[in-house]
């Protein structure tokens, strides 16, 4: 057998192998035995406005819009007001404000947004990192039972979708730093953020302004360090965690 014939035969065998391989792979896809390859399809950054004033983006393999919240979800409901089925009227910011309704329709059993702005910088052994980028297992600075600074892993990290109209406390300090935190979040001495006033000191730094402002992000965030106190440093201020193990 000459070389030309040999090469032709080899090419035919390879072609037949490719055909049979493709048929086998297609059959396995049809049976669900293997998953099709993930080519990392990116959805467009369009947004659809919902009846409650919120917006949803495209997601999933078909880049379909997420479902809007039920009509009335997240809306102001007043004390004991009516909400859609599966939702309850909750005081999201129990701070007296003239002309502002704090009561909103939130899903029954859903966590309450008593956490931090996603842009809050958390102190870690490798530098400050935004809280929204922290994950379980990463190391942060915390305090032990004696008040010593210790490096510990994160036990839990989470985020909570906020209702329409959610407001947070905006603190400014004499050292130039700022902090955006939900009114119910507790500082190191156990007080809720809403009770901190101008002139008070947090982590030894004087508060020069304290205002309740409209929150501009879709989620609030929090972490739970693996330490005796569960505390961490947020923009230089020691805060307690709202998460539980």
- Which residues, in sequence order, are CB contacts of 214 under 8 Å at separation 6+? 165, 166, 167
Residue 5: per-residue pLDDT: 64
Specify the higher pLDDT residue, 118 or 26: 118
pTM exceeding 0.75: no
- State residue 223's pLDDT score: 93
User: Would you state the pLDDT for residue 86?
Assistant: 76
Q: What is the mean pLDDT of the chain?
A: 77
pLDDT at 20 over 60: yes
pLDDT at 210: 95
Report the candidate in 230, 102, 110, 127 with the shortest Cα–Cα distance to residue 161.
110
How far apart (Å, rounded) are the C-alpha atoms in residues 124 and 142? 9
The tens digit of pLDDT for each residue in 52-90 reads: 545 566 777 778 877 665 544 455 665 556 777 777 776
* Pick from 132, 129, 134, 138: nearest CA to 235: 129
Q: Which of 25-39, 171-185, 188-202 has the lowest mean pLDDT?
A: 25-39
With a cut of 90, say whether residue 199 has pLDDT above it. Answer: yes
How confident is the model at residue 189, as a pLDDT?
92
Residue 99 has pLDDT above 60, yes or no: no
Domains in the chain: ranges and CATH: 121-239 (2.170.16.10)
Q: Are 102 and 129 in contact (CB under 8 A)?
A: no
Most confident option among 42-46, 186-190, 214-218? 186-190
* 108 touches 84 (CB < 8 A): no
Q: How many Cα atoms within 13 Å fall on the side-chain side of residue 64? A: 6
- Of the chain, the percentage scoring pLDDT greater than 90 comes to 40
- pLDDT tens profile 28-57: 555 544 455 544 556 665 666 565 545 566
52-56, 169-173, 187-191, 215-219: which range is least confident on average? 52-56
pLDDT of residue 176: 95
Give the confidence band of 96 by pLDDT, cuts at 50, 70, 90: very low
Residue bearing the bigger pLDDT, 160 or 146: 146
Residue 114 has pLDDT above 60, yes or no: yes
**Residue whose token pair is 């901190």:** 196
């Amino acid at each position: 057998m000459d070389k030309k014939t040999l090469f032709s035969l080899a090419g035919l065998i390879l072609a037949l192998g490719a055909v049979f391989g493709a048929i086998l792979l297609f059959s396995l896809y049809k049976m669900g035995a293997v998953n099709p390859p993930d080519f990392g399809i990116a959805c467009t950054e369009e947004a659809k406005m919902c009846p409650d004033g919120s917006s949803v983006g495209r997601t999933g393999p078909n880049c379909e819009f997420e479902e809007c919240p039920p009509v009335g979800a997240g809306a102001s409901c007043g004390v004991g007001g009516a909400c859609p089925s599966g939702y309850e009227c909750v005081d999201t910011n129990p701070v007296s404000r003239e002309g502002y309704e704090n009561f909103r329709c939130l899903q029954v059993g859903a966590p309450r947004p008593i956490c931090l702005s996603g842009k809050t910088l958390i102190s870690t052994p490798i530098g400050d990192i935004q809280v929204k980028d922290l994950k379980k297992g990463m190391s942060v600075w915390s305090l032990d039972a004696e008040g010593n600074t210790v490096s510990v892993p994160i036990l839990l990290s989470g985020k909570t979708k906020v209702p329409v109209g959610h407001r947070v406390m905006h603190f400014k300090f004499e050292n130039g730093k700022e902090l955006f935190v939900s009114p119910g979040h507790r500082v190191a001495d156990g007080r809720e953020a809403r009770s901190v006033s101008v002139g008070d000191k947090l982590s030894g730094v004087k508060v020069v302004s304290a205002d309740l402002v409209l929150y501009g992000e879709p989620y609030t965030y929090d972490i739970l360090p693996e330490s005796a106190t569960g505390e961490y440093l947020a923009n230089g201020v020691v805060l307690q965690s709202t998460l539980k193990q």
